[in-house]
Amino acid sequence: MANKFRVNKILLDYLFSVIHLYSIEWHQPALSENHDYALAQLYSSNDDIYRIFLFGIEKAANELFITITITDNATSTEGGWTERERGASNYTIYENDPIDYSGYDDMSNYYPEPVDKDYMPQLGISKWALSADSKTIVLPYIKNKLLTLDYTDRIDILQQIEKERKHLYTNSTGYLNEYYYWQDAELTYADISGVQLDEEGDRLAVWTEYNDVYLYDRYANTTVITKPSLSEMVNHWLESYMTNTTETEEELIQKYLPSKWKLSMVITEGGIIPIAYAHFFHDMISHGNYLFIALKNGQVYAYHMDQLEQPKIVNFKTLLFEKWDMLMAMSMIIFIFVYNEYSIFTY
């Protein structure tokens, strides 16, 4: 049997044309000005299933329409198509026209920074990231928005989470023992230019329009248990409130499902040369982990990811010992100021 993760070009073109027409019929704007679609094959534990992920963007005059479809097709001709998941959302495009406030002299030249009305996200396959086993896919789509899909077979856990249970894949006998768990996030403050995963899907490199590289990691079912900080507890509570999940459901999500991306390193040495590609490499001899970054001018940089500078703990004690000279100078200035004021009011 041919490699199940490869689809020949004829079949790929056929799948794209069929699913493309199938997916846009329920969420296509009346007056579409532009569009872009991307197609990828996802993993399935069933060798007789081709699972296809289609992500589409339709642009109207003042709005972007997003469509997401996951569809299964049996390898036999009698199999037909089975929709596993569909999602849709809209994003408004704001156009800021220059405004002349003639009534206010101090604002007569005020011009707000306009948003490019011609902005159209590009979903080229070079911007996608897929793990070696096709069980994890990461896709940046609008500005700094990033979508992550992870394969999981923990159907026993998902059935206990209300917001996930209604999306589980089914057949004539009940739930399928597989599911793709979705996570949407805004990881950076700048537009995302590209992403790359390591082979296991546990490390993620994100580079932006300013050629900065952000490294994220996540390790599920870790044995190291750390006490959450106050900010993490507040974020956890807010997330539970906004997503209408119970405390029990949140505990199940954190313990058994793929975790969120956490920032581990930032590389800000890109300069003005755009980044073309990034690649994770694991040395089987030294067991070292490296990141290679290729720029569009042909230069390649290598970073040893196991030799990271540990973040320093910042509190009053560390400030007192490390910045004692600055504190001493500030104390002298405050003392002189107070003494001077005291002397004036005394006499």
Per residue in 71-94, pLDDT tens?
888 665 555 678 888 887 887 776
Cα–Cα distance, 252 to 216 (Å, whole number): 22
Contact call for residues 15 and 52 (beta carbons, < 8 A): yes
For the chain, give the number of residues: 347
- Is residue 4 left, alpha or beta, with left meaning phi > 0 and alpha meaning psi from -120 to 50? alpha
pTM check: above 0.85? no
Cα–Cα distance, 232 to 343 (Å, whole number): 49
Contact call for residues 46 and 25 (beta carbons, < 8 A): no
CB atoms within 10 A of CB 131: 18
pLDDT tens, N- to C-terminus, the chain (347 residues): 334 334 455 455 555 555 555 544 556 666 777 878 778 888 999 888 888 888 888 888 778 888 888 888 866 555 567 888 888 788 777 655 444 434 434 433 433 344 466 777 777 655 788 898 889 999 888 888 889 999 999 999 999 998 899 899 988 888 999 999 999 888 888 889 899 999 989 999 999 989 999 999 986 444 344 555 555 555 555 555 556 678 788 888 888 998 889 988 888 866 788 999 899 998 888 888 899 999 988 889 998 887 665 555 556 666 666 777 777 888 888 888 887 877 776 65
DSSP letter at 315?
A: S
Cα–Cα distance, 5 to 18 (Å, whole number): 19
pLDDT in tens, 128-162: 888 988 899 998 888 888 899 999 999 999 999 98
Q: What is the pLDDT, as a whole number, of residue 101?
A: 39
Contact call for residues 81 and 71 (beta carbons, < 8 A): yes
